C-alpha cells in the first residue's frame, strides 16, 4: 500500500492508494519474421503486432509476466481485435484491450501480456501454416515472435509461462502450432476452430474459378469462398515451380488431383492428430464453440478424440454462433483459464 499526502487549503489530508492502475497499455509494433523471408507471394516479413501490457506492468517495473499469443480469424487482423476500428464482436469500442482491462480490474484474474500478430495476407489469411508460398507462419509465431517478446519485454521466458489461443482460423493455427512446438507453449485455448476435418471430395468448380484468375493481384477483394480456397492452396499445397500463384489446386481442368487432395488432408488436424498425441498430452487445453456455430460438430469431435486418449480438456458448448460471444468468452473464460494455468513467477 502506498501513502499519498496532499495539502489542500493548509490542511494535510492522507489517504491510502493501493492496487494496480485500472487500465493496461496497448501498442502496435513491427516485428521482423526471419521465418517469413523470401516467401513467393511477396508477403512482408515485417509484421504488425498488437501488444497489450496489463495494468501492473507500468506500476511494478521489476515484475515479469506470462505471455499469451493470440491468433485472429480469417479475413480479420490484429486491429480487428485490439484497434479502434474493431470488427464484429470487437466493434463499437468493445475491443480486446477493453475486455482485458475489465478482466484485470480486480484481483480475480492474474495478469498476462497479450500478443497478436497481423496474419492478413493477399489471400485474406495465412492459415498459420508453413509454406514457401506465403511463409513459415508456424516458425514466425513459435520462434521469431516469442524471441522478440522475450528480448524486448519483461516476459517470463519459460514454456510454463506461455500460452497460445485463437479463434476460427486462429483456433486451427493454435492446434497445429501447439502440437508441433510443445516445448514452447504449455497451455492452449481453442475457440471455434475451423478446418479441423479433411475434405476428400472437393468441388472442382471452386478450382475452376481460381484457374480463371490471371495472377495473385486478381485475387484481391475476392469473395470469401474463392479467397478461402486460394489461401488454403497457398498454405497447404505450395509449388515453387508453378508461377504466378506458386501453388496447386485440388482440381485441374475439372478433374480432382488426388495427390493435391492428399496434401490438404495431411493439414487437417483430425486426420493427423494421432501422431501428435504425445505432444498434446503435455498441454493444458481449453476449448469452446457456440451451439449454433456450423463448426460445432468438428470441435466436438476434436474434444472427443482428445478425451479418448485420456487428455483432459476444459470444453464448453455455449449458447451462441461463430462470432457473437468472442469478447465475453475472452474476458470471462479464456483470460481466467490462462491466469490459472500459466506460471506467474520465474523459476530463476
> Does residue 257 contact residue 250 with C-beta atoms inside 8 Å?
yes
Beta carbons of 172 and 76 less than 8 angstroms apart: no
Rg (the chain; Cα; Å): 22
Buried b (16+ CB within 10 A) or exposed e, 219-230: beebeeebbbbb
Answer yes or no: is pLDDT of 98 > 50.
yes
Q: What is the mean pLDDT of residues 110-127?
A: 97
Q: What is the pTM of this model?
A: 0.92
> For residues 202 and 275, is the Cβ–Cβ distance under 8 A?
no
pLDDT on residue 36 = 98
Q: Closest Cα partner for 116 from 69, 155, 83?
A: 69
Half-sphere exposure of 310 (CA within 13 A, CB side): 5
Would you state the pLDDT for residue 124? 95
Mean pLDDT across the chain: 92
- CA torsion angle for 60, 63, 66, 67 (degrees, to 10)? 60
- Picking from 177, 198, 167, the residue whose alpha carbon sits closest to that of residue 35 is 177
Crossing angle of helices 204-211 and 224-236, in 10° steps, is 90
pLDDT at 85: 74
Percent helix, strand, coil in the chain, to 5, is 35, 20, 40
Task: Round to whole Å and give the CA distance between 286 and 291.
Answer: 16
**What is 25-194+268-341's CATH number?**
3.40.50.1820
199: alpha, beta or left? (left if phi > 0; alpha if psi -120 to 50): beta
Residues above pLDDT 70, as percent of the chain:
93
**CA–CA dist 96, 91 (Å, integer):** 10
Of the candidates 200, 259, 38, which has an alpha carbon nearest to the alpha carbon of residue 249? 259
Q: Where are the domains of the chain?
A: 25-194+268-341, 204-263
pLDDT at 345: 80
CA atoms within 13 A on the CB side of 298: 21
Can you tell me whether residue 4 is helix, strand or coil?
A: strand
Ordered DSSP codes for 24-77: -EEEEEEEE-GGGTT-TT---SEEEEEEEE-HHHHH-TT--B-EEEEE--TT--
Given a cut of 50, whether residue 13 has pLDDT beyond it is: no
DSSP state of 319: S
pLDDT of 217-245, one tens digit each? 898 888 999 999 999 999 999 999 999 99
Q: 255-280, pLDDT tens digit by residue?
A: 999 999 999 999 999 999 999 999 99
What's the rounded Cα separation, in Å, for the pair 174 and 138?
10
Q: Convert the pLDDT of each residue in 147-181 to its tens digit.
A: 999 999 999 999 999 999 999 999 999 999 999 99
According to DSSP, the residues that pair with 136 across neighbouring strands are 130
Q: Strand runs (DSSP E) across the chain, as ranges?
A: 2-8, 11-17, 25-32, 46-53, 67-71, 113-117, 130-131, 135-136, 162-167, 187-191, 251-252, 255-256, 284-290, 313-318
Tens-place pLDDT, residues 314-330: 999 999 999 999 999 99
Task: Please state, for a pLDDT cut of 90, what percent of the chain lies above it.
Answer: 86
Per-residue pLDDT at 348: 52
Q: Which cell goes with 165? A: 489461443
Does the pLDDT value for residue 62 go beyond 90? yes
Q: Are 166 and 173 in contact (CB under 8 A)?
A: yes
Amino acid at each position: 500500500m502506498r501513502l499519498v499526502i496532499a495539502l489542500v487549503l493548509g490542511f494535510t489530508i492522507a489517504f491510502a492508494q493501493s492496487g494496480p492502475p485500472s487500465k493496461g497499455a496497448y501498442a502496435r509494433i513491427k516485428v521482423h519474421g526471419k521465418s517469413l523471408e523470401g516467401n513467393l507471394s511477396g508477403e512482408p516479413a515485417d509484421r504488425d503486432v498488437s501488444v497489450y501490457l496489463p495494468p501492473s506492468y507500468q506500476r511494478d517495473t521489476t515484475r515479469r509476466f506470462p505471455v499469451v499469443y493470440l491468433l485472429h480469424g480469417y479475413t480479420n487482423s490484429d486491429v480487428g481485435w485490439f484497434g479502434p476500428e474493431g470488427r464484429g464482436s470487437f466493434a463499437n469500442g468493445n475491443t480486446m484491450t477493453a475486455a482485458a482491462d475489465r478482466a484485470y480490474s480486480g484481483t480475480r484474474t492474474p495478469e498476462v501480456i497479450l500478443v497478436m500478430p497481423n496474419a492478413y495476407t493477399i489471400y485474406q489469411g495465412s492459415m498459420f501454416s508453413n509454406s514457401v508460398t506465403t511463409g513459415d507462419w508456424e516458425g514466425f509465431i513459435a520462434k521469431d515472435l516469442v524471441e522478440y517478446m522475450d528480448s524486448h519485454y519483461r516476459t517470463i521466458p519459460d514454456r510454463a509461462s506461455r500460452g497460445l489461443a485463437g479463434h476460427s482460423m486462429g483456433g486451427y493455427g493454435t492446434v497445429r502450432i501447439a502440437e508441433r512446438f510443445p516445448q514452447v507453449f504449455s497451455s492452449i485455448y481453442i475457440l471455434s476452430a475451423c478446418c479441423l476435418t479433411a475434405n476428400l471430395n472437393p468441388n472442382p468448380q471452386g478450382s475452376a474459378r481460381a484457374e480463371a484468375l490471371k495472377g495473385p493481384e486478381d485475387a484481391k477483394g475476392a469473395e470469401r469462398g474463392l479467397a478461402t480456397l486460394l489461401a488454403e492452396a497457398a498454405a497447404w499445397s505450395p509449388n515453387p515451380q508453378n508461377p504466378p500463384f506458386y501453388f496447386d489446386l485440388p482440381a485441374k481442368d475439372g478433374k480432382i488431383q488426388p495427390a493435391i487432395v492428399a496434401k490438404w488432408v495431411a493439414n487437417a488436424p483430425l486426420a493427423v492428430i494421432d501422431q501428435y498425441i504425445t505432444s498434446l498430452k503435455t498441454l493444458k487445453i481449453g476449448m469452446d464453440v457456440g451451439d449454433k456455430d456450423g463448426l460445432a460438430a468438428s470441435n466436438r469431435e476434436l474434444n472427443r478424440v482428445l478425451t479418448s486418449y485420456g487428455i483432459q480438456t476444459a470444453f464448453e458448448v455455449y449458447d451462441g454462433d461463430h462470432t457473437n460471444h468472442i469478447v465475453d468468452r475472452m474476458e470471462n473464460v479464456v483470460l481466467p483459464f490462462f491466469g490459472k494455468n500459466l506460471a506467474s513467477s520465474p523459476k530463476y
